[in-house]
Structure 1
Amino acid sequence: MSQEDSFLYDSFPDGFLWGVGTSAFQIEGGTKDGGRGASIWDTFCLKSSNIIDKSNGDVTCDSYHKYEEDIKLVKELGVNFYRFSISWSRVIPDATGSGEVNPVGVQYYNNLIDGLLAVGIMPVATLYHMDLPQCIDDEGGFLNESLLIDTFTKYADVCFKEFGDRVKYWITFNEPKIIVTLSYGNGYFPPGIKSPFEGVYQAAHNLLKAHASAWHLYDTSYRNTQNGKCFISLNSAFFIPKDPNCPEDVETTELAHQFTTGWFAHPIFIDGDYPPIMKTKIGELSKKEGREKSRLPVFTEEEKRFIKGTSDFLGFNFYTSTLVSAPDNDMPPDIQYDVNILAKYTVDPSWKQMSLFFLNIVPHGLRGMMNWINKEYNSVPVFLTETGFSNSTGTTDDPDRVQFFKSYINELLKAVKLDGCNVIAFTAWTLLDNFEWVFGYTCKFGLASVDFESEEKRRTPKKSFYYYSKLIKNNGFTDISE
């Protein structure tokens, strides 16, 4: 029996952290309460055809008013930490104008943070989780380099100053690849810009600089007194060569990893610059397109030094895997973010899928991803910031989600105990069924269901909630009857 097929009964190392996560726009609601400004998602939802069920995030789980109920759930779950995101628009409603801090918004997060600490839960705060203030987007958003860096750094400064005495773990950006590809590459997310050849790379370039600016601010002005950590959270599928004995498939698979994880991790953890293969590949294609210079922006030597080393951990979101094969000779360019990879993506027919068609359930992919990261980035500490399962119903009887967490976390245990991967934390996504971006309320990731039809938005723990709670209590799999 292979190690992938066998179940490992063992516990995680002492000090391993267990958590659960949410994001502001997906659960808070209260979009017009307490002086909050508009975000790009508020605007995007105004056109009902943008959301599959024509819904919006105006109320969702109403955590803006019911955060105390969320804290009770988190306490009952038994996690070490709660990962939440701060709404930039709630803290600084007019980021490009007055820039004034909204005391009501600050108070909301103070209440949440203090409530968590009161029951022994460590707050982990994400500064940016998809919800750019509309006023910044009106002036170019992530394509406006100086504006993005300036406003994000000022926003980070406010958060560090207001909350950093109690928040010891800060995430700058959640899923940069998703931010730039879905918002500026294929236009599926707001602001809906389709620029797969240029805009997507410029947005990523500016995001990396904004991230580095916020990290340096924390490092120079707050670390000594607040003693916290500041890091970025990336995401990727695990890419598997369709034919591991085919050199072209293996080479294309590595290319896929470098164009996803490497796009952001290589500058931060290696040398301040993009992966060499990425620069070469885009440079060659740019020349074929008749361009005088590469579509991939260039960092100055000073910028490389500024970006290198700007993450205390590698935050990582992981859900799925895909098979990769080399492109056919006559394969047309796929006008998406990976237009330069020209890889063929397929799935193993034996893999089950979640309710979101692009998420395949491949437990051993998590182990593979952790090993790839461990080797590529010199055993960098990995803080898993999201892993979760989607289905189409909010029923509390969710054996598929239980099996998902059982199998994925066991493969993570193998990565840690058998392979020596340096993983320090696991975050289940997510606490509550919520607004799932363009999919609205049609898919559910929550460990607890929410009755969206009721005025009180009643929360009810699912079987997966109690299963995950047991895993946390045991710090792994110590019960042979599992």
Structure 2
Amino acid sequence: MLRVSLLLCFLLTIKSVSSSTDNFCRDDFPLAPAFVFGASSSAYQVEGAAGEDGRTPSILDTYAQAGHFHGATGDVACDAYHKYKEDVQLMADTGLEAYRFSISWSRLIPNGKGPVNPKGLQYYNNLIDQLISHGIQPHVTLHHSDLPQALDDEYGGWVSRKIVKDFTAYADVCFKNFGDRVLHWTTMNEPNVFVLGGYDSGFSPPQRCSIPFGLNCSRGNSSTEPYLATHNILLSHASAARLYKKNYQDKQRGFIGINLFAFWFFPQTKTIEDELATQRGLDFYFGWYLNPLVFGDYPDVVKTNAGSRIPFFTRLESQSVKGSFDFIGFNYYTVSYAEDNSISLKSTNRDYIADSAMKTRLLKCNESSFEYPIAPWGLQRLLEYMKQNYGNPPIYIHENGQQTARNSSLEDRSRVKYLRGHIQSLLAAVRNGSNARGYFIWSFMDSLELLNGYESSFGLYYIDLDDPDLKRQPKLSAHWYSHFLKSKNLTSLDGFLESLSHGYHSQ
């Protein structure tokens, strides 16, 4: 049952959404393809078949095999590699208009560069064809934290400029083979978080860090490598985008962008120090990537605080990165307090976190719960910030969802309230001029989660890992989302929940 504290949190935060959107339905948004509703996944988290048909390990495989996902691995995961036809049919039955998934670089090109694996090529062709045949738009991500281990071993992966050439060649294979049907390409998934976990604190692959910022790494430099990896990621994105726009876009008529993880920050107190810390948070977490993409260079405060540890863009690099996107994707889940920590700047040995000179703390309603507080107003303010500060570019909400304990009830009412609140807030933002183009729930089905393995879940569909067939079972949230997507007149939240007693959720 939903804890009282979470219910109170929901009642407080939902009031921040305009009452004019209390009753809404799918048709209140622009219709597809101008605006799409879908769900998301990523290759390592759902495909399984980790050692089949020519696929080689990625850095996620190495991390999992070392026991870091609480002993879990993606060797089988949801077995989407073999069950893709069943899954696409389930997507169609749910009413999804789009499906966001990633390609496993090491399944398609096992050595990270060189020959293409024909069985990997066939799998993604089959998946894309299956989606198209059911009227579902494929939205493809090229890198979702799963760099081929071979490239990390050879030259350190993203800390080497060599990655630009290899990533561009990989992207070229994807554009050439899938671009006649894939119209929405995302080069990177939340690199701003990927580099912090992988190259600063070292809590996620490829586990590069240095003391005292990370304690369990055998290599790396937390003071420089987050900035270096980010620089090479931006150059790799720009190179792939330039290739797409030059060789493919006119013929294929598609779009290319990049995805970032997004908190909405707000000050811990009303002091000027915390207000300034909040802006630094926006500059360090968003501006670190958005400013080069929109304006051609890093934010001034990032350059000032990082000093000589952050690479500089040459004139040609700046021109290449600036404007190298057709859309921005955001993964948004909740809000975070920002508190001034300017004292960190007095240290001569600093990492990215110290350079930001702030402390963050997630808004929590219950510290012992997996569940996020329902704070949809943060999404609305994020979209307004993009409109006011970055020219209101086309935006896709690529991930948004509620975390729950893995084996919680199929009647996931907190997830329904979370999703409804955020879609409601998104509608208010669209009506206020946001250039949002789509919304994807994370995740379509329960999968291997990159922070805690199989201990938590985000899925619309539950998968019993002890079931040899890994049957997909709809949760209440799957029924609600399907009802939202198909209904012309959406029942109020209370009315929908009331309908449960009349057998709506009798499966």
Q: Do they fold alike, i.e. is TM over 0.5?
A: yes
Asked if the contact 1:402–1:467 (Cα under 8 Å) also holds between the matched residues in 2, the reply is yes
Give the TM-score taking structure 1 as reference length.
Answer: 0.91
Q: Deviations over 1:356-377 (max 9, x none)?
A: 48x5432211111111111111
In structure 2, C-alpha distance between the alignment counterparts of 1:131 and 1:43, rounded to whole Å: 10
The 5 Å alignment of 1:98-117 reads: 99-117=114-132
In structure 2, C-alpha distance between the alignment counterparts of 1:470 and 1:220, rounded to whole Å: 42
In structure 2, the residue matched to 1:287 is: none
The 5 Å alignment of 1:53-452 reads: 54-96=71-113, 99-194=114-209, 195-244=221-270, 246-269=271-294, 271-283=295-307, 294-327=308-341, 329=343, 337-347=352-362, 351=365, 355-356=369-370, 359-394=372-407, 395-417=409-431, 419-452=432-465
> 1:143: Cα distance to partner?
3.9
> 1:76: Cα distance to partner?
1.2
> 1:456: Cα distance to partner?
1.1
In structure 1, C-alpha distance between the alignment counterparts of 2:329 and 2:17, rounded to whole Å: 27
In structure 2, C-alpha distance between the alignment counterparts of 1:329 and 1:23, rounded to whole Å: 39
2:497 maps to 1:472:
no
Secondary structure in 2 aligned to 1:437?
A: coil
> 1:145: Cα distance to partner?
3.1
Q: CA, structure 1 residues 355+167, in 2 after alignment: closer, same or farther (shift >3 Å)? A: farther
In structure 1, C-alpha distance between the alignment counterparts of 2:35 and 2:267, rounded to whole Å: 32
> 1:475: Cα distance to partner?
7.5
Q: CA, structure 1 residues 65+272, in 2 after alignment: closer, same or farther (shift >3 Å)? A: same
Q: CA, structure 1 residues 347+151, in 2 after alignment: closer, same or farther (shift >3 Å)? A: closer
> 1:5: Cα distance to partner?
5.3
Amino acid aligned to 2:226: V
Asked if the contact 1:355–1:443 (Cα under 8 Å) also holds between the matched residues in 2, the reply is no
Greater CA drift, 74-83 or 140-149: 140-149
Percent of pairs identical after alignment? Answer: 38
In structure 2, C-alpha distance between the alignment counterparts of 1:354 and 1:59, rounded to whole Å: 29
Greater CA drift, 5-14 or 373-382: 5-14
> 1:31: Cα distance to partner?
0.6
Amino acid aligned to 1:321: V
Asked if the contact 1:29–1:57 (Cα under 8 Å) also holds between the matched residues in 2, the reply is yes
In structure 2, the residue matched to 1:30 is: 49
Amino acid aligned to 1:247: I
Q: CA, structure 1 residues 476+151, in 2 after alignment: closer, same or farther (shift >3 Å)? A: farther
Asked if the contact 1:321–1:361 (Cα under 8 Å) also holds between the matched residues in 2, the reply is no
> 1:236: Cα distance to partner?
1.6
> 1:353: Cα distance to partner?
6.4
Secondary structure in 2 aligned to 1:318?
A: strand
* Structure 1 unaligned blocks of 5 or more: 284-293
> 1:176: Cα distance to partner?
0.8
> 1:241: Cα distance to partner?
1.5
Supply the RMSD in Å over aligned alpha carbons.
2.2
2:48 maps to 1:4:
no
Amino acid aligned to 2:426: L
In structure 2, C-alpha distance between the alignment counterparts of 1:410 and 1:476, rounded to whole Å: 14
Give the TM-score taking structure 2 as reference length.
Answer: 0.87
In structure 1, the residue matched to 2:502 is: none
Secondary structure in 1 aligned to 2:57?
A: coil
Q: Deviations over 1:294-326 (max 9, x none)?
A: 111111011000110011011111011111122
In structure 2, C-alpha distance between the alignment counterparts of 1:200 and 1:309, rounded to whole Å: 23
Amino acid aligned to 1:254: Q
In structure 1, C-alpha distance between the alignment counterparts of 2:350 and 2:444, rounded to whole Å: 35
Secondary structure in 1 aligned to 2:356?
A: coil
Asked if the contact 1:354–1:390 (Cα under 8 Å) also holds between the matched residues in 2, the reply is no
In structure 2, the residue matched to 1:18 is: 37
In structure 1, C-alpha distance between the alignment counterparts of 2:17 and 2:111, rounded to whole Å: 54
Asked if the contact 2:344–2:357 (Cα under 8 Å) also holds between the matched residues in 1, the reply is no
In structure 2, C-alpha distance between the alignment counterparts of 1:155 and 1:466, rounded to whole Å: 38
Q: Deviations over 1:370-420 (max 9, x none)?
A: 111111111111111110111113432111111110111111111111x32
> 1:55: Cα distance to partner?
1.1
Q: CA, structure 1 residues 179+331, in 2 after alignment: closer, same or farther (shift >3 Å)? A: closer
Secondary structure in 2 aligned to 1:467?
A: helix
In structure 2, C-alpha distance between the alignment counterparts of 1:328 and 1:267, rounded to whole Å: 25
In structure 2, C-alpha distance between the alignment counterparts of 1:433 and 1:20, rounded to whole Å: 12
Q: CA, structure 1 residues 347+33, in 2 after alignment: closer, same or farther (shift >3 Å)? A: closer
In structure 2, C-alpha distance between the alignment counterparts of 1:475 and 1:262, rounded to whole Å: 39
> 1:327: Cα distance to partner?
2.5
In structure 1, C-alpha distance between the alignment counterparts of 2:352 and 2:422, rounded to whole Å: 28
Asked if the contact 2:344–2:355 (Cα under 8 Å) also holds between the matched residues in 1, the reply is no
Asked if the contact 2:291–2:299 (Cα under 8 Å) also holds between the matched residues in 1, the reply is yes
* Structure 2 unaligned blocks of 5 or more: 1-11, 210-220, 497-507
> 1:332: Cα distance to partner?
8.5
> 1:337: Cα distance to partner?
3.6
Following superposition, which runs of at least 4 residues in structure 1 exceed 4 angstroms of deviation? 328-336, 352-357, 474-482
Equivalenced residue count is: 463
Q: CA, structure 1 residues 330+81, in 2 after alignment: closer, same or farther (shift >3 Å)? A: closer
Secondary structure in 2 aligned to 1:325?
A: strand
Q: CA, structure 1 residues 348+60, in 2 after alignment: closer, same or farther (shift >3 Å)? A: closer
Secondary structure in 2 aligned to 1:320?
A: strand
> 1:272: Cα distance to partner?
1.4
Asked if the contact 1:80–1:121 (Cα under 8 Å) also holds between the matched residues in 2, the reply is yes
